[in-house]
Amino acid sequence: MTHIPTVSGSSEQQNASATPELRSSGLKTRLISAAVGIPIVLLAILAGVPGISALVITAALIAGYELSVMVPRRRQGNSQFLLVIATLTAGGVVVATAPIEYSVPLFAFGGGLGLTGIFNSYWYRHNPHRTKALVVGIAALYFGITLAHAAPLAAEDDGRRWILFAILGTFAVDTGAYFVGRAIGRHKLAPKISPKKTWEGVFGGAAAAIGVLLALGAILDLPIAVWEAALLGLAITVSGVLGDLFESWLKRKANVKDSGRIIPGHGGILDRIDSLAPNLVVVYWAVQLLEI
């Protein structure tokens, strides 16, 4: 099995020591990965619920694998791997592929199976790392449940546009936070978890999200008022940043830099969905509660 590389220094130290040639090569790799990945996501959105469900299942299974290798495997064999996959899929993917009218009972059923898996992990007698296994089990259930909101959101009226709304809004938060934080960021948000994140970056991300969602509401012709789009911009900023910090905390607990290597230049699937997963929940329930 290919193990995730462990952290050999802080991100700031690694970035500072990188030569311009290496940084340019890294940017090129990221752009190539984006050029491949974006059409896949767009095709899934165009396919509607089946396409979104297939994309979610694929992402969830890869995320489950990435989570599984974060847990020490001494004296466990493949049991932890199977547990994490089962927890993730039972807690969320079952709901994602179900008919919408059955989503609530399946959600409860899947959540019950997921919690059972977590407690089995905690009480597994031959597991010398019960605490870490429990944390990863909870993380698996969390990602499964949040990702499960994608298919029901896609099944709503204007569902494809709402999915695009969530994805582009998340991208706006990440982009705004990155550039503003890099330009004027001084006050650290959570230095022990993610040293590069700043409060200035968060405010920049919020401003970008509000602006982009206001524009998208008009461009995509969504039935959303200006104040609702602005409120959603703030909400996805908060949930996206918290999701990002949660995944960063998991990686620090596991002593890894990236969750995986499946996306060249970007890391693993978890590194790409950490902000989007909770934002799918926010947008889905906003559509329900605001009746838009």
HSE, CB side, 13 Å, CA atoms: give it for residue 157: 8
Q: Are residues 141 and 167 in the same domain?
A: no
The two structure tokens encoding residue 181: 């934080």
Q: In the listed set 131, 155, 179, which residue is the last one of a domain according to the structure?
A: 155
Report the pLDDT value the prediction gives residue 62, as an integer from 0 to 100.
79
Contact 230, 215 (CB under 8 A): no
Q: Are residues 205 and 79 in the same domain?
A: no
Q: Are residues 97 and 184 in the same domain?
A: no
Report the pLDDT value the prediction gives residue 5, as an integer from 0 to 100.
39
260 domain-assigned: yes
CA 72 to centroid of chain Cα atoms? 23
Domain that holds residue 130: 19-155
Q: In the listed set 126, 155, 184, which residue is the last one of a domain according to the structure?
A: 155
222 domain-assigned: yes
From first to last of its 292 residues, the chain has per-residue pLDDT tens of 333 334 433 343 444 444 555 445 555 666 676 677 789 899 999 998 888 888 887 887 777 778 777 765 554 445 555 555 555 555 555 555 555 555 555 555 555 555 555 555 555 545 555 556 667 767 777 887 788 788 888 888 899 999 999 999 999 999 999 899 999 999 999 998 988 899 999 999 999 999 999 999 999 999 999 999 999 999 999 999 999 999 989 888 777 787 777 776 667 888 889 999 999 999 999 998 887 7
Q: In the listed set 103, 121, 155, which residue is the last one of a domain according to the structure?
A: 155
Instruction: Report pTM.
Output: 0.78
The total domain count for the chain is 2
